[in-house]
Amino acid sequence: MSARHSLPRSIAAHGILITYTLIALFPVFVIVINSFKSRQAIFREPLALPTRETFDLIGFQTVLAQGDFFQYFQNSMIVTVASLFFVLLFGAMAAFALSEYRFRGNSLMGLYLALGIMIPIRLGTVAILQLMVATGLVNTLTALVLVYTAQGLPLAIFILSEFMRNVSDDLKNAGRIDGLSEYRIFFRLVLPLVRPAMATVAVFTMIPIWNDLWFPLILAPSEPTKTITLGSQVFIGQFVTNWNAVLAALSLAIVPVMVLYLIFSRQLIRGITAGAVK
Amino acid sequence: MSALTLSNVTKTFGTTEVITGVDLDVEPGEFCVFVGPSGCGKSTLLRMIAGLEDVTSGDVKIDDRRVNDVAPAKREIAMVFQSYALYPHLTVRDNMGLALKQAGTSRADITAATDKASAMLGLDPLIDRRPSELSGGQRQRVAIGRAIVRRPKLFLFDEPLSNLDAALRVATRIEIARLHRELGATMIYVTHDQVEAMTLADKIVVLRAGRVEQVGPPMELYNDPANTFVAGFIGSPQMNFLKSGPLGLSSAQMGIRPEHLEISTEAGQIAGKISHVEKLGGETLVYVLTEDHGLLTVRLFGEHDYQVDAPVWLTPDAARAFHFDEHGQRLRPGESSAAGRATP
Ligand SMILES: Nc1ncnc2c1ncn2[C@@H]1O[C@H](COP(=O)(O)OP(=O)(O)O)[C@@H](O)[C@H]1O
Ligand SMILES: [Mg+2]
């Protein structure tokens, strides 16, 4: 048995990973169990599982009775999916151009695009708001999609261009000799080979967008354009907080990201271990 | 008329000149091999012929048509790559047929062409598989099939055998030679392996650092090298280079192939001692360490027994020796009086 697979080592590794998983999942677990309990039960024993006496769906009822909740959900979903689509599309195209073509200012352009990783887009909030007011995009989902696309692009370009550099030149050249256009080479030959990297980028892009409160609050606070994170804020008052509703809304908000994550996760794992396993 | 003409072709990456003025003429139906050490610019030159790399200056002509500004797909060439470069999402048949499909050939014609190529290369049982389900040798055969299907004016090969194991390399080499005979097509073949160059070529182009050192048929390069580089590169084991001074010669260097050095345990011109012996069955290679010339190789036919560290004497066959000047250029008899063969 090789040293890499010895029993004590693998027990230790699993022990550490399981401990970490439990710690990471604990807050989520507490939120979910408490969303099924009555208000008194939440405060009396926050860590207890819901029992027959304490089980209560009042939180979910409140949230769903709030009426516009599905609307908020839908808004969040539209904004996230649309932003994700544009980030992946434009990010991959820019990464392909940077990694594939030699042109003047190539590395300067790469550096400029990577700058966005280090400088938070929120620093430009005032300018963005002025821009949106000027273009009449305030209180539209388009405003959010535009901002999130800009926010997600730097990291996407950075990660994807690294991966695209590793795609075989011979393959692209074979396509050129066979008469494929540069677009066909990009979509049919290169993109499928960087799919794991695309999934990685998708997950890292999607979660901050879904969870963001800042830009929905500033750019699209109107009732028809509220996102789920912003919509949930109605239950948090200055004096009274409807904890049942807050916890239920949070529990519900986990579901869509979970679904998206599951879609990408198979690819994601391949992306993370790419190179390590041949 | 020539199949390929390069006139004073150069290539510069940034500020480094990778190809420095290459002139070349390839006849129709010729098998031309570019050979040279790794990094000498063979692939770059081939990619310039294919149109995958721009030409910095000079002209590339295929079939007497200037193609400097013609896209790769329009040059009527086909290329086989070292890494096979098959399309991972397509079956063997679709891999071979893609170029014709892009060119708008009818379905029936594509099928006929792929069927013919697959029969030629014995790919019929694999025709519906994807590249990931093939072995290395099979993948390379598909890549060659993809080239055949296009009926190009020019076949370009970039080290197509480098990723194969020794036995497959020999088999595929023979297969390529057979295809060349059957198709009668013009082929340009890049390799760093002089054995492939010698066995396949009608014409060898020896490159060093982006410059053509010598062009000619294999035996001409072997028997009449223009300089020390070609002399050392062509032929295996490598030619021995001896300093002329201790031998009493007026040239700067003398080259002698390992089979033209006589070895004796009693007497000879150069004293040395055996440092290593390699027995290959059919031949024996004896490495002799000498004081004046360093390590020399002697090639003997059949089996021979020599003790390591035993003292021996070597005598070069003067009639088979090559003489070079201080710049490594060949001195031919009669060309210069300095090349006098002052052998005792
Ligand atoms: N895209 C490029 N940019 C800069 N230098 C390059 C590029 N491609 C090749 N080179 C350089 O050109 C030289 C020749 O490369 P290549 O033609 O691949 O050599 P070979 O095929 O003979 O091994 C090498 O020194 C290599 O570093
Ligand atoms: Mg090469």
pLDDT tens sequence across A72-124 = 889 999 999 999 999 999 999 999 999 999 888 999 999 998 888 889 899 99
Residue B271: what are its φ and ψ, rounded to 5°? -90, 145
Select the residue from B49, B98, B132, B159 to test the A interface by mutation, using most A Cβ atoms within 10 A. B98
pLDDT tops 90 at residue A52: no
Q: What is the band of B331 on the pLDDT scale with cuts at 50, 70, 90?
A: very high
Both B297 and B207 in one domain: the answer is: no
Residue-level pLDDT at A278:
32
Residue of A nearest to B143 (CA): A174
Residue B73: what are its φ and ψ, rounded to 5°? -65, -20
Residue A243 falls inside a structural domain: no
> Token pair for residue A9?
């080592």
- Residue B265 CB coordination number (10 Å): 12
Of A40, A59, A78, which marks where a domain is finished? A59
Tell me which residue has its CA closest to atom 3 in ligand 1: B13
Both A203 and A118 in one domain: the answer is: yes
- Interchain CB contact of A192 with B (< 8 Å): yes
> Quick one: CA dihedral B130, B136, B139, B141, positive or negative?
negative
Residue B242 falls inside a structural domain: no
Interface of B with A (CB under 8 A): 47, 50, 52, 71-73, 77-79, 81-89, 98-99, 102-103, 146
Both B217 and B268 in one domain: the answer is: no
**pLDDT (tens digit per residue) in A206-238:** 989 998 999 999 999 998 999 988 888 878 777
- B296: which strand partners? B288
Residue B213 falls inside a structural domain: yes
| CA distance linking residue A234 with residue A237, whole number of Å | 7
- Interchain CB contact of A182 with B (< 8 Å): no
Both A50 and A159 in one domain: the answer is: no
Both A86 and A25 in one domain: the answer is: no
Q: What is the DSSP letter of B70?
A: S
Strand ordering across the sheet containing B283-290: B261-264, B311-316, B270-279, B283-290, B294-301
Both A91 and A129 in one domain: the answer is: yes
Q: What is the band of A6 on the pLDDT scale with cuts at 50, 70, 90?
A: confident
Q: What is the mean pLDDT of residues B247-261?
A: 90
Q: What is the band of B231 on the pLDDT scale with cuts at 50, 70, 90?
A: very high
Q: What is the band of A4 on the pLDDT scale with cuts at 50, 70, 90?
A: low
Both B270 and B206 in one domain: the answer is: no
Q: What is the mean pLDDT of residues B283-294?
A: 94
CATH number for B287: 2.40.50.140
Residue-level pLDDT at B342:
41
Q: What is the ipTM of this complex?
A: 0.86
Contact B87 A170 (CB under 8 A): no
Ligand 1 atom closest to residue B47's alpha carbon, by position in its atom list: 17
Minimal CA–CA distance to A120: which of A218, A197, A214? A214
Q: Are B319 and B261 in contact (CB under 8 A)?
A: no
> Token pair for residue A12?
């230790």
Q: What is the mean pLDDT of residues B83-107?
A: 94
Q: What is the mean pLDDT of residues A167-196?
A: 93
The total domain count for chain B is: 2
> Token pair for residue B311?
């003292």
Both B30 and B111 in one domain: the answer is: yes
Residue A116 falls inside a structural domain: yes
pLDDT tops 60 at residue A277: no
Residue B179 falls inside a structural domain: yes
Place of tokens 């980030």: A87
Asked whether the bond before A216 is cis by omega within 30 degrees of 0, the reply is no
Residue-level pLDDT at A272:
56
Q: A223 in the Ramachandran plot: left (φ > 0), alpha (ψ -120 to 50) or beta? A: alpha
- Name, in order, each residue with C-beta under 8 angstroms of B67's C-beta and a sequence gap of 6 or more: B51, B60, B61, B75
Residue B335 falls inside a structural domain: no
Q: What is the band of A67 on the pLDDT scale with cuts at 50, 70, 90?
A: low
Select the residue from A104, A106, A107, A178 to test the B interface by mutation, using most B Cβ atoms within 10 A. A178
The total domain count for chain A is: 2
Place of tokens 């072709």: B9
Residue-level pLDDT at B343:
39
Is residue B323 in contact with ligand 1, taking CB distance under 6 Å? no
| CA distance linking residue B113 with residue B120, whole number of Å | 11
Is residue B41 in contact with ligand 1, taking CB distance under 6 Å? yes
Is residue B97 in contact with ligand 1, taking CB distance under 6 Å? no
Both B119 and B177 in one domain: the answer is: yes
Report the SS3 class of residue B77.
Answer: strand
| CA distance linking residue B263 with residue B298, whole number of Å | 7
pLDDT tops 80 at residue A128: yes
Least confident of A194-203, B115-124, B135-144: A194-203
Both A90 and A55 in one domain: the answer is: no
Residue-level pLDDT at A276:
41
Mutate to test the pocket of ligand 1, among B15, B43, B54, B192 (most ligand atoms within 8 A of CB): B43
Is residue B227 in contact with ligand 1, taking CB distance under 6 Å? no
Select the residue from B44, B46, B52 to test the A interface by mutation, using most A Cβ atoms within 10 A. B52
Q: What is the mean pLDDT of residues B293-320?
A: 94
Report the mean per-residue pLDDT for chain B.
92
Both A92 and A120 in one domain: the answer is: yes
Both A85 and A179 in one domain: the answer is: yes
Both B145 and B291 in one domain: the answer is: no
Rg (CA), chain A: 23
Both A98 and A222 in one domain: the answer is: yes
Report the SS3 class of residue B299.
Answer: strand
pLDDT tops 80 at residue A240: no
| CA distance linking residue A253 with residue B20, whole number of Å | 65
> Token pair for residue B162?
């480098």
| CA distance linking residue A15 with residue A17, whole number of Å | 6
Residue-level pLDDT at B344:
38
CA atoms within 13 A of residue B302's CA, in its CB half-sphere: 2
What residues have a C-beta under 5 A from ligand 2, the ion?
Answer: B 43
Both B203 and B288 in one domain: the answer is: no
pLDDT tops 70 at residue B341: no
Both B104 and B176 in one domain: the answer is: yes
pLDDT tops 90 at residue B219: yes
Both B60 and B208 in one domain: the answer is: yes
Residue B328 falls inside a structural domain: no
Minimal CA–CA distance to A42: which of A69, A64, A60, A32? A32
Both B201 and B89 in one domain: the answer is: yes
Place of tokens 């290395």: B136
Q: What is the band of B306 on the pLDDT scale with cuts at 50, 70, 90?
A: very high
- Angle (nearest 5°) at CA B59 between B55 and B63: 120
Q: Are B214 and B57 in contact (CB under 8 A)?
A: no
Ranges assigned E (strand) in B84-130: none
> Token pair for residue A30?
């507490």
Both B44 and B113 in one domain: the answer is: yes
Residue A260 falls inside a structural domain: no
Q: Containing domain of residue B265, as a range?
A: 256-321
Least confident of A86-95, A228-237, B80-89, B177-186: A228-237
> Chain B closest CA to A117's CA: distance in Å?
29
> Chain B closest CA to A169's CA: distance in Å?
9
Report the mean per-residue pLDDT for chain A.
88
Residue A5: what are its φ and ψ, rounded to 5°? -115, 20
Both A15 and A76 in one domain: the answer is: no
Of B180, B210, B228, which marks where a domain is finished? B228
Both B21 and B101 in one domain: the answer is: yes
Residue A135 falls inside a structural domain: yes
CATH number for B190: 3.40.50.300
Q: Containing domain of residue A233, as a range?
A: 67-238
Q: What is the DSSP letter of A122?
A: G
- Residue B13 CB coordination number (10 Å): 12
Torsion of CA A95, A96, A98, A100, to 10 degrees: 150
% pLDDT > 90, chain A: 50
Helices (H) and strands (E) in chain A, counts: 14, 0
CATH number for A85: 1.10.3720.10
Q: Which residues of A75-85 are buried (b: 16+ CB within 10 A; e: fewer)?
A: bbeebbebbbe
> Token pair for residue B91?
């079956």
Q: What is the mean pLDDT of residues B102-114?
A: 95
Q: What is the DSSP letter of A50?
A: P
| CA distance linking residue A93 with residue A95, whole number of Å | 5
Place of tokens 């790399």: B53
Q: Give the DSSP letter string of B205-260.
A: EEEETTEEEEEE-HHHHHHS-SBHHHHHHSSSSPPEEEESGGGT-SSSEEEE-GGG
Both A55 and A71 in one domain: the answer is: no
Q: What residues in B contact A173, CB-CB < 8 Å?
A: 47, 50, 52, 72, 79, 81, 85
Residue B303: what are its φ and ψ, rounded to 5°? -95, 135
Residue A88 falls inside a structural domain: yes
pLDDT tops 90 at residue A182: yes
Both A136 and A225 in one domain: the answer is: yes
Q: What residues in B contact A189, CB-CB < 8 Å?
A: 87
Q: What is the mean pLDDT of residues A153-179?
A: 93
pLDDT tops 50 at residue A275: no
Both A126 and A203 in one domain: the answer is: yes
Residue B241 falls inside a structural domain: no
**pLDDT (tens digit per residue) in B148-170:** 999 999 999 999 999 999 999 99
| CA distance linking residue B34 with residue B41, whole number of Å | 10
Q: Which residues of B55-93 are buried (b: 16+ CB within 10 A; e: fewer)?
A: beebebbbbeeebeeeebbebebbbbbbbbbbbeeebbb
Is residue B39 in contact with ligand 1, taking CB distance under 6 Å? yes
Minimal CA–CA distance to A34: which of A24, A48, A21? A48
Residue B176 falls inside a structural domain: yes
Q: What is the band of A269 on the pLDDT scale with cuts at 50, 70, 90?
A: low
